[in-house]
Amino acid sequence: MACTIEGKVIIITGASSGIGEAAARLLAARGAKVVLGARRIERLEALVAEITAAGTEASGGEAVCQATDVTSATQVQALVDLALERYGRVDVMINNAGLMAIASIHKVRVEEWERMVDINIKGVLYGIAAALPVFQKQKVGHFINVGSIASHKVAPGGAVYSGTKFAVRAISEGLRQEGGAIRCTMISPGGVKTELPKGSSDQTTVATLEEMYRTALPAETIARAMAYAIEQPPEVDVNEIVIRPAAQAF
């Protein structure tokens, strides 16, 4: 029998738009208490207000938020601390924040490489570092790390981005092997309608990606995949879900 999402305390990074925002809405609608982090606090506050209003009108969940830059271990820790202070526990940590700065490696955009490493790899590690002691104390918990189809394949222009997502896949697999009762799921989306394709400063690349993303999936599709993994019984660990648009070849 599937477990319920109702009452679970779920932290989501990168929750101000895209997959994170969609996950916050869906999981809260299913009764979760969502703790939202992102840099754009005004968007988070508007989302919290929307979720709170929906919760008072129906059986929806609750939401709180805090400005969070995942490149700061201190800020990620503060987000986990907020969840503990407000709800006394953490059931799921969704490491969702990401940057996709696609450009030929020959253009040597070192600053963008560093940002991708800081957000895509270190941001995930900081989320693990903050939540893992809580899960260890509880003897239960669930990490959901958002990867990409680029964690399975490399395309021209995507060397560094793929490198960061390959790293997330390796980290997730290692975490799974050592997790015991702590579950770990990696979600690897293909094209999804988010702000991600606009992450590059290379305008030619951005235009190409926008054309490719015409068949992209709505972010709610990925949120439903997260819900599926969360709803499984405690002894079931859904380790990886790869989701592409049916029309996507890459």
Q: pLDDT per residue over 97-113, tens digit each?
A: 999 998 889 999 999 99
Helices 123-138/159-179 angle, 10° precision: 10
Residues of 3-22 as b/e, b for ≥16 C-beta within 10 angstroms?
eebeebbbbbbbbbbbbbbb
- With contact defined as beta carbons under 8 Å apart, do 124 and 146 qualify? no
With cut-offs at 50, 70 and 90, classify the pLDDT of residue 56. Answer: low
- With contact defined as beta carbons under 8 Å apart, do 70 and 127 qualify? yes
CA distances from 150 to 79, 126, 146, 191, 242 (A): 28, 21, 11, 10, 11
- With contact defined as beta carbons under 8 Å apart, do 126 and 73 qualify? yes
Task: For 232-250, give the DSSP string.
Answer: S-TT----EEEE--TT---
pLDDT score, position 22 = 97
Domain residue spans in the chain? 9-243
Active-site residue set: 161
Beta bridge partners of 66: 37
Q: pLDDT per residue over 103-162, tens digit each?
A: 889 999 999 999 999 999 999 999 999 999 999 999 999 999 999 999 999 988 899 999
Q: Is the CATH number of domain 9-243 3.40.50.720? A: yes
pTM here is 0.92
* Helix (H) / strand (E) containing 4: none
